[in-house]
Every structure is written in structure tokens, then in C-alpha cells.
Amino acid sequence: MTTLVPHTVHLTGRHVRGFLRQPAFVIVTLVQPLIWLLLFGQLFRAVVALPGFGAGSYLEFLAPGVVIMTVLFSSGWSGMAFIEDMDRGVMDRMLSSPASRGAMMGSSVAYTGFTTVIQSLVIVVVAVASGARFAGGVVGVLVMLVAAVLLAAAFGSLSNGVALLVRRREALIGFSTMLTLPLSFLSSAIIAREAMPGWIQAVATWNPVDWAVTASRSALSADPDPAGIGWRLLGLAVVALALSALATRAFRAYQRSV
């Protein structure tokens, strides 16, 4: 336990150094969300007249949803780094070293959180430059970042755990796509809950992606709901801790199969 924190810090530094040498991946992952933000924001700006949206700009409504969808898709690819380490033999060397399994998982999650903050801030800056105005201000943005990082920790851990089990890029890509697309569209990321069919509203109630979107949107609004935000962040934290613990146990399955 005493080595967990220093090992995590050291291994996180390894990931960050890799990012600084080749930041193109994070930049490329921003292309699609910026298209969503700018094109969807213009194409569907009239939908705010529908019940549930209330007054305001669709761009302001959409921006938190784009942030959370970007986090979901990016963290779904987190396990690719583990597969690359497996293919290069790095994973086996690390497992035979004194580094703890918790530190290996924790450093990956921490790095995912690091890239999440960068991506989220870029999207916020572009939204503001495009005319969005968030009444929640800096505090609202910080709450959104917390929600985004917790969601990234949850799905990054899940992606890592699946990578340890399947050990193939194609399988991880299929799993990630199968999971992230439905979770995105079964949330209020791009449409108000009141405008959804009843069964989608019911599913969204239990969808962590919707928790993150709703908490972020509330925090950025002129009339935030502190209790609702707090409960949703707590739910995200519980899911993140549970998935991180389960993913760490997947190291045993990987070691038994090699």
C-alpha cells in the first residue's frame, strides 16, 4: 500500500511523457466532437423551441453533451495502450516488476483523466468563441470537469479490463463501439429528456453517461441543482471505483492465459 502512490505517479509520468512526444492522438480525437459542436449547434438550433429545452441557445445545451460524449469515446479506447504494451512485451516485464497492479491501473486512469481535462477545456473554449455563454461560470466548468473525469475513470477502467481479457485490438474496438454509441444516444447528450420517448427516458435514468451530462448541464446553468449534481457525481464515483477494482482483477486472468 505504501508503494501504490509513488508507483502510480511514476507510471503516470510515463504515459504523460508519451503524450508530450506524440500529442496527435488527443488532437485527432477532437475533430469529431468539434464537428458535432459546430455543425449540430447550427443545424439543430431551432429545436430549442420544443418542450423541455426552455429558452436559450442549442449550442449552450449541446456543449456539455459533446464534452461527455468525447470523454466516453476517448476513454473507450484507453485499453489500446494496454494491448500495445502486451504486443511489445512491456506488460509482462511490468507484471514481473515490483510495480503494483493497482498502480498500473491507477496510472492509466490518471492519464485518461489528464487527457479528458485537455479535451474538455478545448471544447469549452470553442463553444464560448462560437457564442455560447454559461451562467454557471468557472465553478460550473469545474463541476463539469469533475463529472467528465469520473466518467473517464469508469469507462477507461472498463476498457483496460476488457483489453486484458481479449488482448486483441479488433475485439476491443468492437466492444467499445457496441457500448459507447448506445450509451450516448440513450442519454440527454443531444436532446432534452422531455423530448425523448418514454422508454429512453427510463433507460437514461440509470445511464452513467446521462448522470454526467445532467450534472454538467445543471452546473453550467443559471439555476443549478446542488443536490441533483451531488448525487449524480457520487453515483459516477461509485461506478468508477467499482469498475477500477474489477479491471484490476483482470490482471490475474491475463497472467493465467499467457
127 closest CA partner among 171, 182, 70: 70
For residue 55, what are the contacts with CB-CB under 8 A and spacing of at least 6?
Answer: 48
Please indicate whether residue 82 or residue 2 has the higher confidence score (pLDDT): 82
pLDDT of residue 77: 86
Give 67-86 pLDDT, tens digit per residue: 999 999 889 888 898 898 88
**Joined grid coordinates for residue 20:** 508530450
What percentage of the chain reaches a pLDDT higher than 90? 43
pLDDT of residue 97: 77
Written as one letter, the residue type at 184 is S
Give 88-107 pLDDT, tens digit per residue: 888 888 888 777 788 888 88
pLDDT of residue 2: 61
Largest CA-CA distance found in the chain, in angstroms, rounded:
60
Give 54-68 pLDDT, tens digit per residue: 657 888 999 999 999
Written as one letter, the residue type at 122 is V
83 closest CA partner among 173, 212, 145, 208: 173
Please indicate whether residue 81 or residue 26 has the higher confidence score (pLDDT): 81
- Residue pair 103/8 in contact (Cβ under 8 Å)? The answer is yes
Q: What is the pTM of this model?
A: 0.90
Q: Is 178 exposed, middle or buried (0-12, 13-18, 19+ CB in 10 A)?
A: exposed
Please indicate whether residue 18 or residue 207 has the higher confidence score (pLDDT): 207
Residue with cell 468539434: 34
